[in-house]
Amino acid sequence: GDGAFSGRLPGCVAIELDPAHCPPGALNIDFFAYPEGEKFATVIGNPPYVKARDILPATALRLGSSLLDGHANLYLHFIEKCVRHLAPGGELILITPRDFLKATGAGRLNAWLFDQGTITDFEDLGDAKIFEGAAPNCAIWRFEKGNASHRLHDGRRMALSGGQLMFTRGIYSLPLASVFAVKVGAVSGADEIFSNEEFANTEFVCSKTAQTGATRRMVYLDREGPVAWLEQFKERLLARRVTRFDEANWWKWGRRHYVSEAPRIYVNHKTRNARPFFQHPCNNYDGAVLALFPHRATLPAADLKRLTEMLNEVDWGELGFVCDGRFLFSQRSLEQALLPEAFAEFAVKGLV
């Protein structure tokens, strides 16, 4: 950067890749070329948020992580390298996107962080825009190498579950996956075409259903052949990137939902609804919605309703699923979540 940190820390080692922004006295080099043998009591930084495909080729050649794959954002590689530069008992203070806590691709990194020490402070910045040209939800956090307490300074516990990190006050010990199977909804890849009211043949639970109770009518062809009306859109439908389309499937949706008559509970991927989990009699659901199917498929309706209420009583914010008042759920993050022991009566042993 332009010396926001180093200008206030005389005598520190500062590194900046861009010569146009490199402050006086800083090393104008690639951080990933800096010898890993150099150890520090404190590392402070604001890692760049760069998608894997946009990482400079010279930098990419220096990334040899065994914890991250070729799809990882550059800031994740920065986290790992910063920790490796810490002396025993050293501290790391970073401003990064908060999504590493639950990102599938950061699972091994998170497990390694948990083994290496403790995140002692974590300040969620919500929707505040920190990175110019990008809008990830960010956090300021401090990590202490060799601290095995897994306790934050505010009393919360640092917990690890399925590669996800969370900071909790309550006791969460039951894997959600022992109670539910989490399924993703159907994706058309061209809603503006398939939502035609005149030819619609299927109702779908959608993002608005939780608030209004209304479903969305869509043209959904599974085992049927194409309808003549869709022919005019054939080229556009073939060009969808949801999956590979050809002459044998161009009229179908890009991703089929899990089709079942079994009871389920719905939740939107993203919502500000204070009680996000809901039930609905429609068995079809689109890509904005996740469906949680209890493993005990013969649950009485009263128990399913109670399960829904119990899910809505969970402190999802404490589990890291709420950012700036908005719930953020994904299939993977929910599958790896932990629930309170009260859900034990609905769990099926041996699944996790």
pLDDT greater than 90 at residue 126: no
pLDDT greater than 70 at residue 208: yes
Query: How confident is residue 333, by pLDDT bands cut at 50, 70 and 90?
Result: very high
Which two tokens mark 105?
């691709």
Q: Name the segment(s) of the chain with CATH classification 3.90.220.20.
A: 178-346
pLDDT greater than 70 at residue 1: no
C-beta separation of 138 from 126 below 8 A = no
Q: Mean pLDDT over residues 199-228, rounded?
A: 94
Query: How confident is residue 274, by pLDDT bands cut at 50, 70 and 90?
Result: very high
Q: Specify which residues 161 forms β-bridges with.
A: 164
Query: How confident is residue 7, by pLDDT bands cut at 50, 70 and 90?
Result: confident
Q: Name the segment(s) of the chain with CATH classification 3.40.50.150.
A: 35-161
Across 14-18, 63-67, 151-155, 170-174, the highest mean pLDDT is recorded for 151-155
C-beta atoms surrounding 293 within 10 Å = 17
Q: Mean pLDDT over residues 40-59, rounded?
A: 94
pLDDT greater than 70 at residue 226: yes
Query: How confident is residue 5, by pLDDT bands cut at 50, 70 and 90?
Result: confident
Write down the architecture of domain 35-161 according to CATH: 3-Layer(aba) Sandwich (3.40)
pLDDT digits (tens, 9 = 90+) for 302-319: 999 999 999 999 999 999
Topology of domain 178-346 in CATH is: Adenine-n6-DNA-methyltransferase TaqI; Chain A, domain 2 (3.90.220)
Q: Mean pLDDT over residues 334-341, rounded?
A: 95
Query: pLDDT > 70: what percent of the chain?
Result: 97
* DSSP 8-state secondary structure symbol assigned to residue 151: B
- Distance of alpha carbon 21 from alpha carbon 235, whole angstroms: 47
pLDDT greater than 70 at residue 201: yes
What per-residue string of b and e applies to 110-132 under the rule 16 or more CB within 10 Å gives b?
Answer: bbbbbebbbbbbbebbeeeebbe
pLDDT greater than 80 at residue 128: no
pLDDT greater than 80 at residue 165: yes
pLDDT score for 248 = 93
DSSP 54-66: GS-HHHHTT---S
Mean pLDDT of the chain: 93
pLDDT score for 220 = 96
- Distance of alpha carbon 336 from alpha carbon 168, whole angstroms: 15
